[in-house]
Amino acid sequence: MGTSKRPAPLQGNTMELYTTPALSGQWETRLTGYGTDAGMDAPVVEPTRAEQLAAIQGSWEALEVKIESVAVEVSLLRVDLQKASDRVQIKERSISKLWTEVDAL
């Protein structure tokens, strides 16, 4: 006999039904999501430790990228702040000069 192929799960269902050679053509039920009927006696398939670690690693890498982009934004804001501070100092010196001229009159 040929090998059994796993059919695609039905749209919208939270469980998959497929046959395996070990079950000699019997249907095996595997829950794949939340919100399944409470009366189902099939075991819930939990992610493996490797899958959990991979998900955590992916989240961590995404967080690192976000932190780096925020650091770049902060650096740009510091440059803008320094430029604004320089302009304020120039204006303060100009005002001080004007007051000196007014006092001289």
pLDDT at residue number 46: 81
pLDDT in tens, the chain (105 residues): 445 455 554 444 444 444 455 544 444 455 455 555 555 555 667 888 888 898 899 999 999 999 999 999 999 999 999 999 999 999 999 999 999 989 888
3-state helix/strand/coil string of the chain: CCCCCCCCCCCCCCEEEEECHHHCCCEEEEECCCCCCCCCCCCECCCCHHHHHHHHHHHHHHHHHHHHHHHHHHHHHHHHHHHHHHHHHHHHHHHHHHHHHHHHC
29 forms beta bridges with 17
Task: Give the integer Cα–Cα distance in Å for 28 and 42.
Answer: 9
